Chain A
């Protein structure tokens, strides 16, 4: 960090507690932000290229390896797209299992982020280690929540990292009701722990920031959308998934080798827990909705720092809904559905822990992938993250450099950006002139 009369420079070589690698470069001259670039390193489109020429039924296994934190998201969006291409319809029991598997991933991912990555920001700690030293019982609760999520993924998915049971059309192996019933005590504990988490984080002090967001998320009138739905926004977008390319576009920006997505003619938008909460509040499980309302958390929630509250509410929703789904679950008949191969294009989306995840695949008549498009949430949030940083920075330029740097990092962590999904260490360089 450097400072003289007119120019201040910040150089943070590792932005921690962010999954992946990237950098933020900021140049400030006096009271003016000269440059702000959120950069993502690496080759974002490798997996799209890798998929070309592979069989349709390999896609879910290959895309699961894009991310160690959210493999179910990639499996679900890709399965949705392939099923759309082949005209495969799946029944309610398979949908229920998919939702439970996905909720396991939400609990695992949100539990990690809330307790070990994000909460330390609000409590004045450098990271989860200090929180564990001062409040070991809190961290134990967070880790146990995470383990419940992992266990659910293992029971349904076959293993907790890169599940092997999901496939196009459903699952390779049917899950017995007794296996799910064994999860009930853990999920009942997780529900109580998630409710306690909402109470805990609601006591945090939140910086003032309320950007004018366009929120985009999947919407399903009958459930808090996670494995499918229509794409909606708070400014009029209401389209089936296959029209994604009519409304959104991806392009390169010179400072990032990830593609960034924008709404055609409008620009940045916001995907993730805040978007889901604001667009789908009525579809939350009643226990989750009540936990939010108890702390005055009702739509519209515009403060991005409050995503930690929303993630906690979503853990309540996930645990409560899983308990309901297990209660009504009856063993699958056929564990998966099939359809004849055909030359076709299919579109699929789901709500990854970090937001909307869109996939498109073109197949030839032998079921080989001829083209693939994968648009992860972090690519969609990249422009919005930059916009948030500009707005935040313009209001805190009178603060000392260390405080500014910390708040910028915290603002990026609001999005829990999974940069390894978009393309993997974040470097922050802030320079004042």
Chain B
């Protein structure tokens, strides 16, 4: 049986500058869904979301926008191509989504909340524009959850 609460996945490496942003945002959303922090291999996500209707993935991205820009993509509505979002992992979250799709284990909705990163330096702190995007990214996630709740049929 699928769980209707969103699985909120924060992906990143706390020791790699702006790559920590996915973790920093997800850590503040523990009251909004089931939060999973992933610092290692994204294939672990394939099992984690197997019985979920909706997963929200929060991760640093490189899309040639200004650092700190928050981008929301419904991945199942997009042509999922490697290169849409890069992270410092051996297999990126998008490959995990693609493998999940191939295995038929993907939730019905997969939302990427991407925060434009600029620096992945070892042991570096998050850059100021990326740190300043934590609150806007949290608001974006809560807005998504609010919209989903508002559009859901009332429980009987």
Contact = CB atoms under 8 A, between A and B. Distances in A.
B43 A143 contact: yes
Contacts of A121: none
Contacts of B91: 17, 112, 116-117, 128
Interface stretch (B70-78, B95-103, B148-156): B95-103
Contacts of A17: 90-91
Contacts of B41: 68-69, 112
Interface residues of A, number: 35
B123 A46 contact: yes
A404 to B, nearest CB: 22
A420 B91 CA distance: 13
A65 B41 CA distance: 13
* B contact patch SS: loop
A136 B122 contact: no
Most buried by B among A42, A50, A69, A129: A129
Contacts of A132: 98-99, 102-103
B88 interface: yes
A50 B124 CA distance: 12
Interface in A417-433: 420, 423-425
B13 interface: yes
Contact of B95 (A46, A128, A133, A143): A128
B39 interface: yes
Interface string A104-125: 0000000010001100000000
Contacts of A129: 95, 98-99, 102
Most buried by A among B38, B43, B98, B104: B43
A420 B123 CA distance: 13
B104 A136 contact: yes
B46 interface: yes
Interface in A31-83: 42-43, 46, 50, 65, 68-69
Interface in A1-27: 16-21
Contacts of B15: 65
B47 A147 contact: yes
Interface string B8-44: 0000011110000000000000000000001111011
B49 interface: no
A128 B90 CA distance: 12
A50 B123 contact: yes
A354 interface: no
B95 A112 contact: no
A161 B99 CA distance: 21
Contact of A139 (B86, B103, B120): B103
Nearest to A424: B88
A117 B103 CA distance: 17
Contacts of B103: 132, 136, 139-140
A127 interface: yes
Nearest to A108: B41
A50 B99 CA distance: 37
A162 B39 contact: yes
Contacts of B120: 424
B122 A42 contact: yes
A150 interface: yes
B62 to A, nearest CB: 10
A127 B94 CA distance: 13
A146 interface: yes
A69 B99 contact: no
B127 to A, nearest CB: 17
A68 B95 contact: no
B39 A117 contact: no
Contact of A143 (B47, B88, B104): B47
Nearest to A16: B82
A139 B102 contact: yes
A354 to B, nearest CB: 12
B90 A136 contact: no
B44 A150 contact: yes
Contacts of B123: 46, 50
23 contacts: A21-B88, A42-B121, A42-B122, A43-B121, A46-B123, A65-B15, A68-B41, A68-B89, A69-B41, A112-B41, A112-B43, A112-B90, A112-B91, A117-B90, A128-B95, A132-B102, A136-B102, A136-B104, A143-B47, A146-B43, A147-B47, A150-B44, A420-B88
Interface of B: 13-16, 38-41, 43-44, 46-47, 82, 86, 88-91, 95, 98-99, 102-104, 120-123
The 8 closest A-B pairs by CB, nearest first: A68-B40, A132-B102, A19-B90, A129-B98, A133-B102, A161-B40, A132-B99, A46-B122
Interface of A: 16-21, 42-43, 46, 50, 65, 68-69, 112, 116-117, 127-129, 132-133, 136, 139-140, 143, 146-147, 150, 160-162, 420, 423-425
